[in-house]
Amino acid sequence: MLTLSQEMIRIPSVYTHEAEIADFVYGRLSDWGFEPRKVPVPDHGPCIVAEHGDPASPSVVLNGHMDTVEVMSGWKHDPFGAEVEDGMLYGLGALDMKCGLAALMMTFRTLAGSDALRGRRVVFQAVPGEEDLGIGTRTLIREGVFRNAEAVIIGEGFGGLHVVTNARRGGSYYDFHVLGQSAHGATPHMGKNAAVDASRLVCALEQMNLSESEGLFSDALEPLKETQTVLSIHGGGISLSVPDRCVVNIVRCTIPGGRIDILPELEALVSRLSLECEVDIEFKDEPGDFYKPYLTDAEEPLVRSAVDSLTEVTGTKPTLACGVSEADDNIVAEETGLPVICMGPGETGDMARHHRPEEAITISQLPAALEAYLSTVRRLCEA
């Protein structure tokens, strides 16, 4: 598993550039005796799908992504070197999520060579574009690859092997179009400055009240709350003129059971500010712009199987947690309605270096992750 993880880390696969690693995964599965197939994804490398078992039987899906974010500044280790130092494997994608992908591949291979499936089918999916609006997983859903599935395990270990992520916050995105009136910059009183009103709006947005969930914890094991972030503010640009337009983009990270569309609340906020400019608010609800929160019930066989398996493997009962960032499990839950979880090798605290330099993972987790995946699927098949 360590070797497989290192081989994949050494293949650069920044999102939209996944063709080489897709060929690697395809080739390795073929070498193991499977007949994988490639599912094209626009502007990305292909998805790689392999199946074992009766095609008519209900399936357990093992899903992981091949892509990474760009190389950030601040790396001390070679981001593609896959170096091992003091029990840690360093490299871009080590944590997010090539080690998890390696564990899923080995799980698929092991299950296919056993009698654990008991009349079920196992489907392995390696997807591109998770970092690009989940386009790989969305493609497989459209292509019907999740048809007849009864449970989905996504191999991202948010919080490591002491956490089962059975819920996730959503993301509601809004654009505020602030429309003013231009004038010469030397006579600003004759215009309506969209940049100034946008600045007042940003300050007000930062002061909004946010909700806290009762009984749910984040994957950092803290009480789960909404958050709201101003992502960008831009406008102006005409020489020595009062800006007549400005756009503010925000995201509200919503919680399971809470509000999803807060447009009325945002409109009330703008009204209270009594701005000079007009403000039009757009709720961006197209696929890829909008992620709904989800919660897979703790009593679902998938969740219970994962909890019991991790308890057995680690000696500690894992915490059920809600992921704070959007991921492919949001898409699976919303578009298929299937029970879905995230679990796998990961880190906590300062070592949880998702989208950060010096990304690394504790290599002792790798065999434990494989054991936990195998046990979870076996328990599901026995249920």
Burial of 316: CB neighbours in 10 Å, binned 0-12, 13-18, 19+:
exposed
Q: What is the pLDDT at residue 279? A: 98
| CA–CA gap between residue 375 and residue 107 (Å, rounded) | 10
Torsion of CA 286, 141, 95, 20, to 10 degrees: -100
What is the bridge-based pairing of β-strands 47-52 and 163-168?
Answer: unpaired
Q: Where are the domains of the chain?
A: 2-168+293-382, 170-283
| CA–CA gap between residue 101 and residue 123 (Å, rounded) | 13
Q: What is the DSSP string of 108-166?
A: HHHHHTSS-STT-EEEEEEES-TTTTTHHHHHHHHTTTTTTEEEEEE---TTGGGEEEE
Task: Look at residue 52 and give its three-state secondary structure.
Answer: strand
Please name which of 134, 63, 132 lies closest in space to residue 97, comparing C-alpha atoms: 63
| CA–CA gap between residue 209 and residue 321 (Å, rounded) | 23
**The domain at 170-283 falls in which architecture?**
2-Layer Sandwich (3.30)
Q: What is the pLDDT along the chain (383 residues), one digit of tens a residue?
A: 999 999 999 999 999 999 999 999 999 999 999 999 999 999 999 999 999 998 889 999 999 999 999 999 999 999 999 999 999 999 999 999 999 999 999 999 999 999 888 889 999 999 999 999 999 999 999 999 999 999 999 999 988 999 999 999 999 999 999 999 999 999 999 999 999 999 999 999 999 999 999 889 998 889 999 999 999 999 987 789 999 999 999 999 999 999 999 999 999 999 999 999 999 999 998 877 889 999 999 999 999 999 999 999 999 999 999 999 999 999 999 999 999 999 999 998 899 999 999 999 999 999 999 999 999 999 999 98
Q: What is the pLDDT at residue 221? A: 84
Q: What is the pLDDT at residue 171? A: 95
User: What is the maximum alpha-carbon separation in the chain?
Assistant: 81
DSSP 3-state percent helix, strand, coil across the chain (nearest 5): 30, 30, 40
Angle at 53 between CA 48 and CA 58, to 5 degrees: 90
- Residues with Cβ within 8 Å of 269's Cβ and at least 6 positions away in sequence, in order, are 204, 205, 208
Q: Which two tokens stand for residue 75?
A: 């790396």
| CA–CA gap between residue 18 and residue 219 (Å, rounded) | 28
CATH 3.40.630.10 fits 2-168+293-382, yes or no: yes
